[in-house]
Amino acid sequence: MKTEPVIVRPLLPGDLPLLADLLVKVHAVDGYPVEGVADPTVWVSSPAVLRSWVAELDGVVVGHVALMAADGEDAARLIRKGDRDESFAADELRALARLFVSPDARNRSVGRLLVRTVMDHAQAAGQRLVLDVLHKDQAATRLYRRLGWRYLGDTDHLHNGGSAPAACYSWPG
């Protein structure tokens, strides 16, 4: 049986229940995200999300990624503190966030296609991207590095009264 290619498209309101279920499944397998699982629909559709996309495989939603304002990201603070690149104003800084892929759809380039979608959007809009990724999420870290993201430094990601070690990245590098 031939499998159809992965399709990336903008998130539609009808996708939210599917994404909420998928997020809970991803969290059970990976421990990601460390926040948001108590109310996954709100986490995925937060007003802080500027745009978001989903990936479909054989007509089934199998992944998600969002573009958000970068204000709360530690990577944004590192950029503003130490980067002298004047070609990106503060309002041109955005965060790639809330990337998750169904465990059943991994090793099919779903994550790469979702990340490339945000990168292409940012490039067309003249935006610089940042992200924070937990150290434990090594597959995500490898993906970002393969796609040319630049390591900025380490931080502690604060969540639900706790913290976890994380790395900060920017793109373009």
pLDDT value at 15 more than 80:
yes
For residue 1, tell me if it sits in a domain: no
pLDDT value at 81 more than 80:
no
Task: Supply the range of the domain harboring residue 11.
Answer: 7-171
Please give the model's pTM, rounded to 2 decimal places: 0.89
For residue 109, tell me if it sits in a domain: yes
pLDDT value at 22 more than 90:
yes
pLDDT at 123: 94
Tokens found for residue 112: 């790469």
CATH number, residue 90? 3.40.630.30
For the chain, the domain total comes to 1
**Range 72-88 average pLDDT:** 67
CB-CB neighbours of 11 under 10 Å: 19
Helices (H), ranges, the chain: 16-30, 40-44, 74-82, 110-125, 138-146
Q: What is the DSSP secondary structure assignment for residue 70, as one 8-state letter? A: S
**Stretch among 24-38, 102-116, 118-132 having the lowest mean pLDDT:** 24-38
